[in-house]
Structure 1
Amino acid sequence: MDMRPNMKVKKKANHERWLVSYADLMTLLLALFVVLYASSTQNKVKIQEEEQSIIHAFHGTPITIQSHSGNSGVLQHQPSPIPKPVEHPAPRPPPHVPQQISRQLQQEMAQLQAMQLRLQSVLQPLIGQKQVTMSAQPLTLTISFSASTLYNSGQATLSPPAKILLTNIAGKLKDLPDQFSMVIQGYTDNQPIATPQFPSNWSLSVERAVSVVTLFVAQGIDGTRLSAQGFGEFAPSASNATADGRAQNRRVVVVIRAPAPSDTANDASGGK
Protein backbone atom coordinates (compact mmCIF):
# COMPACT_ATOMS: atom_id res chain seq x y z
CA MET A 1 0.00 0.00 0.00
CA ASP A 2 1.33 3.36 -1.12
CA MET A 3 1.68 5.50 1.99
CA ARG A 4 3.05 8.58 0.14
CA PRO A 5 0.95 11.67 0.53
CA ASN A 6 -1.28 12.67 -2.36
CA MET A 7 0.62 15.65 -3.86
CA LYS A 8 -0.66 17.72 -6.74
CA VAL A 9 1.89 19.15 -9.20
CA LYS A 10 1.18 22.77 -10.02
CA LYS A 11 2.35 23.91 -13.48
CA LYS A 12 3.91 27.33 -13.81
CA ALA A 13 1.91 29.67 -16.10
CA ASN A 14 3.68 30.81 -19.34
CA HIS A 15 3.47 34.61 -19.45
CA GLU A 16 5.54 34.97 -22.67
CA ARG A 17 3.15 33.45 -25.23
CA TRP A 18 2.36 36.93 -26.51
CA LEU A 19 5.85 37.01 -28.04
CA VAL A 20 4.80 34.38 -30.56
CA SER A 21 1.87 36.47 -31.76
CA TYR A 22 4.05 39.59 -31.79
CA ALA A 23 6.70 37.84 -33.89
CA ASP A 24 4.04 36.66 -36.35
CA LEU A 25 2.71 40.21 -36.63
CA MET A 26 6.19 41.64 -37.28
CA THR A 27 6.83 39.00 -39.94
CA LEU A 28 3.57 39.85 -41.71
CA LEU A 29 4.32 43.58 -41.57
CA LEU A 30 7.81 43.02 -42.95
CA ALA A 31 6.41 40.97 -45.82
CA LEU A 32 3.82 43.68 -46.51
CA PHE A 33 6.40 46.44 -46.72
CA VAL A 34 8.65 44.35 -48.96
CA VAL A 35 5.75 43.85 -51.36
CA LEU A 36 4.86 47.56 -51.28
CA TYR A 37 8.47 48.59 -51.91
CA ALA A 38 8.84 46.16 -54.78
CA SER A 39 5.65 47.37 -56.43
CA SER A 40 6.58 51.05 -56.07
CA THR A 41 10.20 50.80 -57.28
CA GLN A 42 10.55 52.02 -60.89
CA ASN A 43 12.30 49.90 -63.46
CA LYS A 44 15.13 52.25 -64.47
CA VAL A 45 16.15 50.11 -67.42
CA LYS A 46 12.62 50.15 -68.80
CA ILE A 47 12.36 53.92 -68.31
CA GLN A 48 15.65 54.45 -70.17
CA GLU A 49 14.44 52.25 -73.03
CA GLU A 50 11.23 54.31 -73.27
CA GLU A 51 13.23 57.56 -73.29
CA GLN A 52 15.46 56.28 -76.09
CA SER A 53 12.37 55.25 -78.07
CA ILE A 54 10.93 58.74 -77.67
CA ILE A 55 14.21 60.36 -78.74
CA HIS A 56 14.42 58.10 -81.80
CA ALA A 57 10.79 58.76 -82.68
CA PHE A 58 11.06 62.55 -82.66
CA HIS A 59 14.71 63.20 -83.53
CA GLY A 60 15.63 60.24 -85.71
CA THR A 61 18.78 58.16 -85.43
CA PRO A 62 21.73 60.25 -84.17
CA ILE A 63 24.52 60.82 -86.71
CA THR A 64 28.12 60.25 -85.67
CA ILE A 65 30.22 62.94 -87.32
CA GLN A 66 33.18 65.17 -86.64
CA SER A 67 32.10 68.44 -85.04
CA HIS A 68 33.72 71.65 -83.87
CA SER A 69 32.31 74.22 -81.50
CA GLY A 70 31.98 77.84 -82.48
CA ASN A 71 35.43 78.76 -81.15
CA SER A 72 37.25 75.86 -82.82
CA GLY A 73 39.63 76.09 -85.74
CA VAL A 74 39.54 74.47 -89.16
CA LEU A 75 38.70 70.78 -89.34
CA GLN A 76 41.80 68.97 -90.53
CA HIS A 77 41.73 66.69 -93.55
CA GLN A 78 40.73 63.14 -92.69
CA PRO A 79 41.99 59.99 -94.47
CA SER A 80 38.49 58.56 -94.79
CA PRO A 81 35.32 60.46 -95.71
CA ILE A 82 32.48 61.11 -93.32
CA PRO A 83 29.47 59.05 -94.40
CA LYS A 84 26.42 60.85 -95.67
CA PRO A 85 23.72 61.25 -93.02
CA VAL A 86 20.98 58.68 -93.56
CA GLU A 87 17.47 59.98 -93.22
CA HIS A 88 15.06 57.66 -91.47
CA PRO A 89 11.29 58.07 -91.47
CA ALA A 90 10.18 58.99 -87.98
CA PRO A 91 8.34 56.03 -86.41
CA ARG A 92 5.30 56.46 -84.26
CA PRO A 93 6.00 57.42 -80.68
CA PRO A 94 5.77 54.65 -78.07
CA PRO A 95 2.23 54.00 -76.84
CA HIS A 96 3.00 54.69 -73.18
CA VAL A 97 4.57 58.12 -72.82
CA PRO A 98 4.66 59.63 -69.31
CA GLN A 99 2.22 62.49 -69.00
CA GLN A 100 4.90 65.02 -68.03
CA ILE A 101 7.03 64.15 -71.08
CA SER A 102 3.98 64.19 -73.33
CA ARG A 103 3.08 67.73 -72.24
CA GLN A 104 6.67 68.87 -72.74
CA LEU A 105 6.81 67.34 -76.23
CA GLN A 106 3.59 69.09 -77.24
CA GLN A 107 4.91 72.41 -75.97
CA GLU A 108 8.23 72.04 -77.82
CA MET A 109 6.52 71.03 -81.07
CA ALA A 110 4.27 74.07 -80.82
CA GLN A 111 7.30 76.33 -80.24
CA LEU A 112 9.09 74.94 -83.31
CA GLN A 113 5.99 75.30 -85.47
CA ALA A 114 5.62 78.92 -84.40
CA MET A 115 9.30 79.54 -85.17
CA GLN A 116 8.89 77.93 -88.59
CA LEU A 117 6.05 80.31 -89.45
CA ARG A 118 8.09 83.33 -88.31
CA LEU A 119 11.10 82.30 -90.36
CA GLN A 120 9.00 81.55 -93.42
CA SER A 121 7.80 85.14 -93.45
CA VAL A 122 11.44 86.27 -93.68
CA LEU A 123 12.71 83.60 -96.07
CA GLN A 124 9.72 83.32 -98.40
CA PRO A 125 11.32 85.31 -101.28
CA LEU A 126 14.42 83.10 -101.16
CA ILE A 127 12.29 79.97 -100.83
CA GLY A 128 10.42 81.00 -103.98
CA GLN A 129 13.76 81.39 -105.77
CA LYS A 130 14.88 77.96 -104.49
CA GLN A 131 17.82 79.54 -102.68
CA VAL A 132 16.50 78.37 -99.30
CA THR A 133 14.55 75.27 -98.30
CA MET A 134 12.90 74.43 -94.98
CA SER A 135 11.84 71.08 -93.61
CA ALA A 136 10.50 70.02 -90.24
CA GLN A 137 10.15 66.97 -88.07
CA PRO A 138 8.23 67.02 -84.78
CA LEU A 139 11.24 68.24 -82.76
CA THR A 140 13.65 69.39 -85.49
CA LEU A 141 13.56 72.34 -87.89
CA THR A 142 16.07 72.39 -90.76
CA ILE A 143 16.92 75.42 -92.92
CA SER A 144 19.21 74.90 -95.93
CA PHE A 145 20.87 77.92 -97.56
CA SER A 146 22.47 77.79 -100.98
CA ALA A 147 26.13 78.78 -100.57
CA SER A 148 25.75 81.42 -103.29
CA THR A 149 23.18 83.17 -101.07
CA LEU A 150 25.73 83.63 -98.29
CA TYR A 151 29.22 83.66 -99.85
CA ASN A 152 31.19 84.52 -102.93
CA SER A 153 32.64 81.55 -104.78
CA GLY A 154 35.43 79.82 -102.86
CA GLN A 155 35.07 82.16 -99.87
CA ALA A 156 33.89 81.70 -96.27
CA THR A 157 33.27 85.35 -95.44
CA LEU A 158 29.58 86.24 -95.29
CA SER A 159 28.48 88.79 -97.86
CA PRO A 160 26.83 92.01 -96.61
CA PRO A 161 23.31 90.88 -97.71
CA ALA A 162 23.91 87.54 -96.00
CA LYS A 163 24.84 89.28 -92.76
CA ILE A 164 21.60 91.25 -92.84
CA LEU A 165 19.57 88.12 -93.54
CA LEU A 166 21.22 85.99 -90.83
CA THR A 167 21.06 88.84 -88.31
CA ASN A 168 17.30 88.95 -88.83
CA ILE A 169 17.08 85.19 -88.39
CA ALA A 170 19.26 85.27 -85.25
CA GLY A 171 16.93 87.83 -83.70
CA LYS A 172 14.06 85.37 -84.02
CA LEU A 173 16.03 82.31 -82.91
CA LYS A 174 16.90 84.08 -79.65
CA ASP A 175 13.25 83.76 -78.66
CA LEU A 176 13.54 79.97 -78.41
CA PRO A 177 14.10 78.56 -74.90
CA ASP A 178 17.71 78.03 -73.88
CA GLN A 179 17.35 74.24 -74.08
CA PHE A 180 16.99 74.37 -77.87
CA SER A 181 20.28 73.78 -79.70
CA MET A 182 21.45 74.91 -83.15
CA VAL A 183 23.89 72.99 -85.34
CA ILE A 184 25.42 74.75 -88.36
CA GLN A 185 26.58 72.36 -91.09
CA GLY A 186 28.77 73.21 -94.06
CA TYR A 187 28.85 71.25 -97.36
CA THR A 188 30.72 71.62 -100.66
CA ASP A 189 30.69 70.00 -104.08
CA ASN A 190 33.41 67.62 -105.24
CA GLN A 191 35.46 70.21 -107.12
CA PRO A 192 38.88 70.31 -105.42
CA ILE A 193 40.09 73.49 -103.79
CA ALA A 194 43.67 74.20 -102.76
CA THR A 195 44.36 77.77 -101.72
CA PRO A 196 46.54 79.19 -98.91
CA GLN A 197 43.36 79.87 -96.93
CA PHE A 198 41.52 76.61 -97.72
CA PRO A 199 43.76 73.63 -98.45
CA SER A 200 40.76 71.32 -98.86
CA ASN A 201 36.97 71.22 -99.08
CA TRP A 202 36.99 70.13 -95.46
CA SER A 203 38.42 73.43 -94.28
CA LEU A 204 36.12 75.45 -96.56
CA SER A 205 32.98 73.67 -95.33
CA VAL A 206 33.89 74.10 -91.66
CA GLU A 207 34.92 77.75 -92.00
CA ARG A 208 31.62 78.55 -93.68
CA ALA A 209 29.74 76.93 -90.82
CA VAL A 210 31.90 78.73 -88.26
CA SER A 211 31.21 82.10 -89.91
CA VAL A 212 27.47 81.61 -89.28
CA VAL A 213 28.11 80.50 -85.69
CA THR A 214 30.26 83.59 -85.12
CA LEU A 215 27.53 85.89 -86.40
CA PHE A 216 24.89 84.19 -84.23
CA VAL A 217 27.08 84.59 -81.15
CA ALA A 218 27.62 88.26 -82.00
CA GLN A 219 23.83 88.66 -82.14
CA GLY A 220 23.40 87.36 -78.60
CA ILE A 221 22.80 83.62 -79.03
CA ASP A 222 24.61 81.70 -76.29
CA GLY A 223 27.61 79.84 -77.70
CA THR A 224 26.81 76.78 -75.59
CA ARG A 225 23.73 76.26 -77.79
CA LEU A 226 25.75 76.34 -81.03
CA SER A 227 28.10 73.99 -82.85
CA ALA A 228 29.69 73.87 -86.31
CA GLN A 229 30.12 70.77 -88.45
CA GLY A 230 31.97 70.28 -91.73
CA PHE A 231 31.10 67.54 -94.22
CA GLY A 232 33.21 68.71 -97.14
CA GLU A 233 32.19 66.99 -100.37
CA PHE A 234 31.21 63.71 -98.72
CA ALA A 235 27.50 64.29 -98.06
CA PRO A 236 26.05 65.46 -101.40
CA SER A 237 22.32 66.08 -101.71
CA ALA A 238 22.44 65.82 -105.52
CA SER A 239 24.68 64.41 -108.23
CA ASN A 240 27.99 66.21 -108.77
CA ALA A 241 27.90 65.25 -112.43
CA THR A 242 25.99 68.42 -113.39
CA ALA A 243 26.46 72.10 -112.61
CA ASP A 244 22.98 72.28 -111.10
CA GLY A 245 23.70 69.32 -108.83
CA ARG A 246 27.00 70.82 -107.67
CA ALA A 247 25.20 74.09 -106.89
CA GLN A 248 22.73 72.19 -104.72
CA ASN A 249 25.58 70.48 -102.87
CA ARG A 250 27.24 73.80 -101.97
CA ARG A 251 25.10 74.71 -99.00
CA VAL A 252 24.98 75.68 -95.33
CA VAL A 253 22.34 74.03 -93.16
CA VAL A 254 20.97 75.29 -89.83
CA VAL A 255 19.46 72.48 -87.75
CA ILE A 256 17.35 73.60 -84.76
CA ARG A 257 16.68 70.84 -82.26
CA ALA A 258 14.41 70.71 -79.24
CA PRO A 259 15.86 69.10 -76.11
CA ALA A 260 15.59 65.33 -75.77
CA PRO A 261 12.95 64.13 -73.27
CA SER A 262 15.66 62.72 -70.98
CA ASP A 263 17.36 66.15 -70.86
CA THR A 264 14.05 67.80 -70.02
CA ALA A 265 13.41 65.32 -67.22
CA ASN A 266 16.87 65.92 -65.75
CA ASP A 267 16.37 69.70 -65.81
CA ALA A 268 12.97 69.36 -64.13
CA SER A 269 14.42 67.17 -61.37
CA GLY A 270 17.38 69.41 -60.74
CA GLY A 271 19.80 66.95 -62.31
CA LYS A 272 19.10 64.26 -59.68
Structure 2
Amino acid sequence: MASVPKKKAKPQKPENHERWVISYADLLTLLLATFVVLYASSQRDRHKADEVAKSFLQAFQGMPPAITTPTPTGSRGVLQHQDSAVPKPKETPGASKLPKTMAHQLSDSMQTLQALQMKLSALFQPMIEKHQMTVTSAPLTLTIQLDASVLFPSGEADLTPQGTALLKQVAAGFVSLPDGFRIVVQGYTDNQPIATAQFPSNWSLSAERAVTVVALFVASGVQGEQLAAEGFGEFSPVADNSTDAGRAQNRRVVVVVHAPDPAQK
Protein backbone atom coordinates (compact mmCIF):
# COMPACT_ATOMS: atom_id res chain seq x y z
CA MET A 1 0.00 0.00 0.00
CA ALA A 2 1.37 3.28 -1.09
CA SER A 3 2.01 5.80 1.68
CA VAL A 4 0.10 9.13 1.62
CA PRO A 5 2.47 12.03 1.39
CA LYS A 6 2.26 14.39 4.33
CA LYS A 7 0.99 17.91 3.72
CA LYS A 8 3.60 20.49 4.06
CA ALA A 9 2.95 22.86 6.97
CA LYS A 10 2.26 26.44 5.96
CA PRO A 11 5.03 28.72 6.95
CA GLN A 12 3.97 31.02 9.80
CA LYS A 13 4.00 34.71 9.12
CA PRO A 14 6.47 36.60 11.19
CA GLU A 15 4.86 38.49 14.09
CA ASN A 16 4.11 42.10 13.27
CA HIS A 17 5.86 44.21 15.84
CA GLU A 18 4.60 47.49 14.31
CA ARG A 19 0.88 47.13 15.17
CA TRP A 20 1.27 49.62 18.00
CA VAL A 21 1.71 52.31 15.38
CA ILE A 22 -1.96 51.95 14.37
CA SER A 23 -3.19 52.36 17.93
CA TYR A 24 -0.84 55.29 18.46
CA ALA A 25 -2.12 56.98 15.30
CA ASP A 26 -5.73 56.50 16.46
CA LEU A 27 -4.87 58.05 19.81
CA LEU A 28 -3.26 61.07 18.16
CA THR A 29 -6.32 61.52 15.95
CA LEU A 30 -8.64 61.47 18.97
CA LEU A 31 -6.43 63.92 20.84
CA LEU A 32 -6.37 66.24 17.85
CA ALA A 33 -10.17 66.15 17.57
CA THR A 34 -10.49 66.81 21.31
CA PHE A 35 -8.25 69.89 21.12
CA VAL A 36 -10.17 71.19 18.13
CA VAL A 37 -13.47 70.94 20.05
CA LEU A 38 -11.96 72.56 23.16
CA TYR A 39 -10.49 75.40 21.13
CA ALA A 40 -13.77 76.08 19.36
CA SER A 41 -15.68 76.01 22.66
CA SER A 42 -13.30 78.45 24.31
CA GLN A 43 -13.63 80.92 21.47
CA ARG A 44 -17.42 80.75 21.59
CA ASP A 45 -17.62 81.22 25.36
CA ARG A 46 -15.26 84.19 25.27
CA HIS A 47 -17.44 85.99 22.76
CA LYS A 48 -20.54 85.23 24.84
CA ALA A 49 -18.84 86.64 27.92
CA ASP A 50 -17.97 89.80 26.01
CA GLU A 51 -21.60 90.23 24.99
CA VAL A 52 -22.82 89.71 28.56
CA ALA A 53 -20.35 92.27 29.90
CA LYS A 54 -21.38 94.73 27.21
CA SER A 55 -25.05 94.29 28.17
CA PHE A 56 -24.34 94.91 31.86
CA LEU A 57 -22.38 98.07 31.11
CA GLN A 58 -25.07 99.30 28.77
CA ALA A 59 -27.78 98.73 31.39
CA PHE A 60 -25.75 100.40 34.13
CA GLN A 61 -24.65 103.45 32.14
CA GLY A 62 -27.75 103.79 30.00
CA MET A 63 -25.75 103.75 26.77
CA PRO A 64 -23.48 101.39 24.82
CA PRO A 65 -19.93 101.37 26.20
CA ALA A 66 -16.89 101.95 24.08
CA ILE A 67 -15.73 98.71 22.43
CA THR A 68 -12.10 97.75 22.81
CA THR A 69 -10.65 94.99 20.63
CA PRO A 70 -7.78 93.00 22.15
CA THR A 71 -4.68 92.51 20.04
CA PRO A 72 -4.65 88.91 18.74
CA THR A 73 -1.72 86.74 19.74
CA GLY A 74 -0.41 83.61 18.07
CA SER A 75 -1.26 80.26 19.59
CA ARG A 76 1.48 78.27 21.28
CA GLY A 77 -0.57 75.12 21.64
CA VAL A 78 -1.28 72.21 19.34
CA LEU A 79 -3.11 74.34 16.80
CA GLN A 80 -1.09 77.01 15.04
CA HIS A 81 -2.94 79.73 13.21
CA GLN A 82 -2.09 82.87 11.33
CA ASP A 83 -3.02 86.14 13.02
CA SER A 84 -5.32 88.32 10.98
CA ALA A 85 -5.82 92.03 11.29
CA VAL A 86 -8.99 93.04 13.13
CA PRO A 87 -10.76 96.02 11.59
CA LYS A 88 -11.21 98.92 14.00
CA PRO A 89 -14.76 100.22 14.46
CA LYS A 90 -15.43 103.70 13.22
CA GLU A 91 -15.78 106.24 15.99
CA THR A 92 -17.74 109.43 15.91
CA PRO A 93 -15.92 112.52 17.20
CA GLY A 94 -16.10 112.68 21.01
CA ALA A 95 -17.94 109.35 21.33
CA SER A 96 -15.02 107.56 22.97
CA LYS A 97 -14.49 110.36 25.52
CA LEU A 98 -18.03 110.28 26.97
CA PRO A 99 -17.85 106.81 28.59
CA LYS A 100 -14.51 107.72 30.19
CA THR A 101 -15.99 110.92 31.58
CA MET A 102 -18.95 109.00 32.94
CA ALA A 103 -16.69 106.36 34.47
CA HIS A 104 -14.64 109.02 36.26
CA GLN A 105 -17.78 110.71 37.57
CA LEU A 106 -19.22 107.42 38.79
CA SER A 107 -15.97 106.56 40.51
CA ASP A 108 -15.78 109.96 42.23
CA SER A 109 -19.41 109.75 43.37
CA MET A 110 -18.99 106.25 44.77
CA GLN A 111 -15.83 107.26 46.65
CA THR A 112 -17.64 110.29 48.10
CA LEU A 113 -20.50 108.13 49.38
CA GLN A 114 -18.14 105.49 50.77
CA ALA A 115 -16.16 108.14 52.67
CA LEU A 116 -19.39 109.59 54.08
CA GLN A 117 -20.61 106.14 55.11
CA MET A 118 -17.35 105.37 56.93
CA LYS A 119 -17.45 108.73 58.72
CA LEU A 120 -21.05 108.35 59.90
CA SER A 121 -20.63 104.69 60.84
CA ALA A 122 -17.64 105.53 63.04
CA LEU A 123 -19.34 108.59 64.54
CA PHE A 124 -22.60 106.83 65.46
CA GLN A 125 -21.27 103.34 66.21
CA PRO A 126 -22.93 103.22 69.68
CA MET A 127 -26.34 103.98 68.16
CA ILE A 128 -25.78 101.46 65.38
CA GLU A 129 -24.96 98.78 67.95
CA LYS A 130 -28.20 99.61 69.79
CA HIS A 131 -30.13 99.28 66.50
CA GLN A 132 -31.29 102.87 66.75
CA MET A 133 -29.60 103.80 63.51
CA THR A 134 -28.43 102.08 60.32
CA VAL A 135 -26.14 103.33 57.56
CA THR A 136 -26.24 101.35 54.34
CA SER A 137 -25.07 102.06 50.81
CA ALA A 138 -25.67 101.04 47.22
CA PRO A 139 -23.45 102.05 44.27
CA LEU A 140 -25.04 105.50 43.93
CA THR A 141 -27.06 105.97 47.15
CA LEU A 142 -26.43 106.19 50.88
CA THR A 143 -29.32 105.48 53.25
CA ILE A 144 -29.42 106.60 56.90
CA GLN A 145 -32.34 105.26 58.95
CA LEU A 146 -33.12 106.63 62.41
CA ASP A 147 -35.69 105.58 64.98
CA ALA A 148 -38.21 108.39 65.36
CA SER A 149 -37.99 108.05 69.14
CA VAL A 150 -34.37 109.24 68.96
CA LEU A 151 -35.45 112.47 67.23
CA PHE A 152 -39.02 113.33 68.29
CA PRO A 153 -41.34 112.96 71.28
CA SER A 154 -44.30 110.68 70.62
CA GLY A 155 -46.89 112.28 68.34
CA GLU A 156 -44.84 115.48 67.85
CA ALA A 157 -42.70 117.01 65.11
CA ASP A 158 -40.41 119.16 67.28
CA LEU A 159 -36.90 117.77 67.62
CA THR A 160 -35.58 116.77 71.02
CA PRO A 161 -32.23 118.26 72.13
CA GLN A 162 -30.64 114.86 71.51
CA GLY A 163 -32.19 114.67 68.04
CA THR A 164 -31.03 118.19 67.19
CA ALA A 165 -27.44 117.45 68.22
CA LEU A 166 -27.45 114.19 66.28
CA LEU A 167 -28.80 115.68 63.05
CA LYS A 168 -26.32 118.58 63.21
CA GLN A 169 -23.52 116.02 63.15
CA VAL A 170 -25.14 114.32 60.14
CA ALA A 171 -25.54 117.70 58.41
CA ALA A 172 -21.83 118.42 58.90
CA GLY A 173 -21.11 115.49 56.59
CA PHE A 174 -23.59 116.77 53.98
CA VAL A 175 -22.18 120.30 53.78
CA SER A 176 -19.11 119.08 51.90
CA LEU A 177 -21.07 117.08 49.31
CA PRO A 178 -20.35 118.27 45.74
CA ASP A 179 -23.03 119.95 43.64
CA GLY A 180 -25.45 117.51 42.05
CA PHE A 181 -25.95 115.31 45.11
CA ARG A 182 -29.56 115.17 46.34
CA ILE A 183 -30.71 114.51 49.92
CA VAL A 184 -34.26 113.24 50.42
CA VAL A 185 -35.67 113.10 53.96
CA GLN A 186 -38.55 110.62 54.38
CA GLY A 187 -40.91 110.41 57.36
CA TYR A 188 -42.80 107.24 58.37
CA THR A 189 -45.21 106.31 61.18
CA ASP A 190 -46.92 103.21 62.51
CA ASN A 191 -50.60 102.46 61.86
CA GLN A 192 -51.91 103.83 65.16
CA PRO A 193 -54.38 106.61 64.28
CA ILE A 194 -53.66 110.17 65.29
CA ALA A 195 -56.12 113.07 65.19
CA THR A 196 -54.95 116.28 66.85
CA ALA A 197 -55.39 119.92 66.02
CA GLN A 198 -51.86 120.00 64.58
CA PHE A 199 -51.79 116.56 62.94
CA PRO A 200 -55.12 115.25 61.63
CA SER A 201 -53.44 112.10 60.25
CA ASN A 202 -50.26 110.05 60.34
CA TRP A 203 -49.52 111.34 56.87
CA SER A 204 -49.36 114.95 58.05
CA LEU A 205 -47.23 113.94 61.06
CA SER A 206 -44.69 112.07 58.89
CA ALA A 207 -44.50 114.93 56.38
CA GLU A 208 -44.03 117.56 59.10
CA ARG A 209 -41.23 115.54 60.70
CA ALA A 210 -39.44 115.29 57.34
CA VAL A 211 -39.79 119.05 56.84
CA THR A 212 -38.41 119.69 60.33
CA VAL A 213 -35.28 117.65 59.53
CA VAL A 214 -34.85 119.46 56.21
CA ALA A 215 -35.13 122.84 57.97
CA LEU A 216 -32.38 121.83 60.42
CA PHE A 217 -30.12 120.73 57.55
CA VAL A 218 -30.61 124.10 55.85
CA ALA A 219 -29.84 125.92 59.08
CA SER A 220 -26.67 123.82 59.37
CA GLY A 221 -25.38 124.94 55.98
CA VAL A 222 -26.69 122.31 53.56
CA GLN A 223 -27.78 123.83 50.25
CA GLY A 224 -31.55 124.06 49.94
CA GLU A 225 -31.56 122.96 46.28
CA GLN A 226 -30.08 119.65 47.36
CA LEU A 227 -32.89 118.86 49.81
CA ALA A 228 -36.39 117.42 49.58
CA ALA A 229 -38.95 116.20 52.15
CA GLU A 230 -41.41 113.33 51.76
CA GLY A 231 -44.08 111.94 54.10
CA PHE A 232 -45.31 108.34 53.78
CA GLY A 233 -47.42 108.02 56.92
CA GLU A 234 -48.23 104.42 57.78
CA PHE A 235 -48.21 103.13 54.23
CA SER A 236 -44.65 101.77 53.91
CA PRO A 237 -44.08 99.59 56.98
CA VAL A 238 -40.90 97.58 57.43
CA ALA A 239 -42.28 95.44 60.27
CA ASP A 240 -45.54 94.02 61.58
CA ASN A 241 -47.71 96.72 63.18
CA SER A 242 -49.44 94.15 65.39
CA THR A 243 -46.60 94.23 67.95
CA ASP A 244 -45.00 97.05 69.93
CA ALA A 245 -41.58 96.16 68.57
CA GLY A 246 -42.86 96.21 64.99
CA ARG A 247 -44.59 99.57 65.43
CA ALA A 248 -41.39 101.00 66.92
CA GLN A 249 -39.48 99.96 63.79
CA ASN A 250 -42.07 101.56 61.54
CA ARG A 251 -41.78 104.93 63.31
CA ARG A 252 -38.65 106.16 61.58
CA VAL A 253 -36.95 108.91 59.60
CA VAL A 254 -34.92 107.90 56.55
CA VAL A 255 -32.36 110.15 54.87
CA VAL A 256 -31.35 109.05 51.36
CA VAL A 257 -28.35 110.64 49.65
CA HIS A 258 -28.42 110.28 45.85
CA ALA A 259 -25.30 110.74 43.75
CA PRO A 260 -25.78 112.65 40.48
CA ASP A 261 -26.79 110.61 37.46
CA PRO A 262 -24.00 110.90 34.85
CA ALA A 263 -26.48 110.20 32.06
CA GLN A 264 -28.25 113.48 32.86
CA LYS A 265 -25.16 115.57 32.18
TM range (shorter): 0.5 to 0.7
Q: CA deviation at 1:121?
A: 1.6
Structure 1 gaps of 5+ residues are: 1-48, 57-92, 266-272
1:144 aligns with 2:145: yes
In structure 2, the residue matched to 1:104 is 105
In structure 1, the residue matched to 2:251 is 250
CA distance in 2, matches of 1:55, 1:185: 27
Question: SS of 2:124's equivalent?
Answer: helix
Instruction: Describe the shift of the 1:251–1:130 C-alpha distance in structure 2 as closer, same or farther (beyond 3 A).
Output: same
In structure 1, the residue matched to 2:93 is none
Q: CA deviation at 1:142?
A: 0.1
TM-score, normalised with respect to structure 2:
0.64
CA distance in 2, matches of 1:155, 1:243: 19
The 5-angstrom pairing of residues 137-216 of structure 1 reads 137-216=138-217
CA distance in 1, matches of 2:150, 2:257: 20
Q: Deviations over 1:97-136 (max 9, x none)?
A: 8111111101110110001011112211110110001111
CA distance in 2, matches of 1:53, 1:148: 40
For 2:167, give the aligned amino acid. L
For 1:160, give the aligned amino acid. P
Question: SS of 1:98's equivalent?
Answer: helix
Conservation of the 8 A alpha-carbon contact between 2:188 and 2:253: yes
Q: Which has the larger radius of gyration?
A: 2
Conservation of the 8 A alpha-carbon contact between 1:50 and 1:94: no
Structure 2 gaps of 5+ residues are: 1-54, 67-97
TM-score, normalised with respect to structure 1:
0.63
The 5-angstrom pairing of residues 1-272 of structure 1 reads 53-54=59-60, 98-263=99-264, 265=265
Question: SS of 1:125's equivalent?
Answer: helix
Instruction: Describe the shift of the 1:181–1:230 C-alpha distance in structure 2 as closer, same or farther (beyond 3 A).
Output: same
Q: Deviations over 1:76-95 (max 9, x none)?
A: xxxxxxxxxxxxxxxxx976
Question: SS of 2:247's equivalent?
Answer: helix
Q: CA deviation at 1:52?
A: 8.7
Conservation of the 8 A alpha-carbon contact between 2:190 and 2:247: yes
CA distance in 1, matches of 2:133, 2:174: 17
Question: SS of 1:185's equivalent?
Answer: strand
CA distance in 1, matches of 2:225, 2:174: 14
CA distance in 1, matches of 2:159, 2:231: 17
Greater RCO, CA 8 A, separation 6+: 1
Instruction: Describe the shift of the 1:94–1:136 C-alpha distance in structure 2 as closer, same or farther (beyond 3 A).
Output: farther
**Percent of aligned positions that are identical:** 53
Conservation of the 8 A alpha-carbon contact between 2:65 and 2:99: no
Conservation of the 8 A alpha-carbon contact between 1:141 and 1:255: yes
Instruction: Describe the shift of the 1:154–1:94 C-alpha distance in structure 2 as closer, same or farther (beyond 3 A).
Output: farther
Q: Number of paired residues?
A: 180
Q: CA deviation at 1:157?
A: 0.5
Q: CA deviation at 1:53?
A: 3.3
Instruction: Describe the shift of the 1:94–1:156 C-alpha distance in structure 2 as closer, same or farther (beyond 3 A).
Output: farther
C-alpha RMSD of the superposition:
2.2
